[in-house]
Structure 1
Amino acid sequence: MAAPLGYDLTVQQLIPGYASLARLAVALLAASQRASLPGASVLVAGCGTGAELVEARSQRPDWQLRAIDPSAEMLAEAQQRLGPASEGINWQQTTVEGLEAQSCFAGALSVLVLQSLPDDGTKLAFLTALARSLEPGGQLVLVDLMAPDRSPLQAQVEAAWLGFQRASGLTADTEELEALTHGLHPIGRARLTALVNAAGFGDPARIFQALGYEGFLLQRLG
């Protein structure tokens, strides 16, 4: 993967709308019934270099944040990026499954994580752990690359993505792009709905789309 220091710039050049994703995700969660309460506990699953955490500190400095990521390098970059604002955040090098949280959080954010997990039970385990970590009625903002619909216009969409990258000045080398765009496991809308329902969420409500990238708002049932 691209070094954390250049990760955000590369992803902004790779993904349309990425620069606004963290702001949108935090604003959506902040408008939910449970996470809107003062001092709500919020989980950032796969916090990466901290984009969602920066926005959370800006929009909702009262939130009690738990930031997790399996990469020590990413956690260190996120802590450095936030500077003094990193104080008070509960940082853990772990996965959602390893966290073993039970109804702890009013809301959660997961941006560009599910896409990297194979659909061999691993996606379901991740989503189930997220649902389990939320209070009943708690919400999750999920953003990922999705499998394309069958369409005669799909070739044009893919060409537009390459054009967007060139126009954005994407300069990442081949190895970096391979790490960011390959080895992913996107799924379609129907499969996502089946998985989130099995995990304990209601049907996903789409709140963002830019070419193949889509964002969804999910609510834990019960």
Structure 2
Amino acid sequence: MQSSGYERLQSQVIPGYGSLARLSVALLAASPVAAEPGVDVLVAGCGTGSELLEAVAQRPDWCLTALDPSAEMLQEARQRLGDQAAIQWQQSTVEALVDAPGMAGRFAGALSVLVLQSLPDDGSKLAFLTALARCLKPGAQLVLVDLMQTSLPSLEGQLDQAWRGFQRASGLECSLQDGLHPIGLARLTSLVNAAGFGDPARIFQALGFEGFLLQRLS
């Protein structure tokens, strides 16, 4: 799928998608560690490059590592970004990246937008979050945005119906939610604490999609 098609599909599925990359980068740029000039920042699951475009626009001084296991996604992102000397492209996973020489504790911040939701909660989510924590400097922050389970079961049916209605009103003929593994806030808190982060601070919510700031503990 071409990047324009991918971005259009995401905007049809996710309320507020057009502002997610801008918001995520702005939040990370305001964090104490990533606010320093010229620091290394990781974009984990960079997809077709929305967060990269915003990072280059808002913080051209950052040294970005664009990570994605999909060669197709990386190719699309590189075409969108053009020749950016400040971006290192990595076709890999975070779990593999952190074990490469010089990667543990390297990054002053990280972005992970719509990645964790695709991983099953069979140890894969914990491994991903643990690797992200290991990549970060102590005190550095991660911006995490994903589809979540509601903490109010009585509203689950209504929220699901609203999401399906949003997608239909956005032009989709069928709802897209297969292959996703959302978890609730209590489970997320347990996982991020086990991975080496403090409690998640919610900074965004639109229906079931929520964004959090996580800080790596010292």
Identify the TM-score tier after normalising by the shorter chain.
over 0.9
SS at match of 1:153: helix
**C-alpha separation in 1, matches of 2:156 and 2:149:** 11
Aligned partner of 2:77 in structure 1 is: 78
Equivalent-residue separation in structure 2 for 1:123 and 1:93 (angstroms): 19
Question: Which of 121, 127, 130 is equivalent to 2:129?
Answer: 127
5+ residue gaps, structure 1: none
Corresponding residue SS for 2:82: helix
Aligned pairs for 1:38-57 (under 5 A) are: 38-57=37-56
| 2:204 aligned residue | 208
- Counterpart AA for 2:115: V
Match of 2:94 in 1: 96
Instruction: Report how far residue 191 of structure 1 moved.
Output: 0.4
Task: Kindly provide the amino acid, as one letter, of the partner of residue 8 in structure 1.
Answer: E
Amino acid at match of 1:160: A
Q: How does 1:1-222 map to 2 (within 5 A)?
A: 4-84=3-83, 86-100=84-98, 101-170=103-172, 181-222=177-218
Which deviates more, 45-54 or 75-84?
75-84
One-letter amino acid of the structure 1 residue matched with residue 90 of structure 2:
Q
Conserved? CA contact 2:62–2:86, under 8 Å: no
Equivalent position amino acid for 1:7 in 2: Y
- Partners in 1 of 2:136 and 2:159 — Cα distance? 36
1-structure distance, mates of 2:155, 2:97: 42
Distance 1:109 1:153 in 2: 29
TM-score (norm 1): 0.92
Consecutive aligned runs of 4 or more in structure 1 exceeding 4 Å deviation: 2-5
User: 2:214 corresponds to which letter in structure 1?
Assistant: L
**Secondary structure of the residue that 2:48 maps to in structure 1?**
coil
Q: Is the 8 A contact 1:205 1:217 kept in 2?
A: yes
AA aligned to 2:63 is Q
In the comparison of the two structures, how many residue pairs are matched?
Answer: 214
State percent identity of aligned pairs.
70
CA RMSD of aligned residues (A): 1.4
Q: Secondary structure at the match of 1:73?
A: helix
Distance in 2 (alpha carbons) for counterparts of 1:194 and 1:44? 23
Aligned with 2:212: secondary structure? strand
Task: Tell me the distance in 2 between the aligned counterparts of 1:154 and 1:186.
Answer: 13
Shift of 1:148: 2.4
Q: Helix, strand or coil: the match of 2:153?
A: coil
- C-alpha deviation, 1:5, in angstroms: 4.4
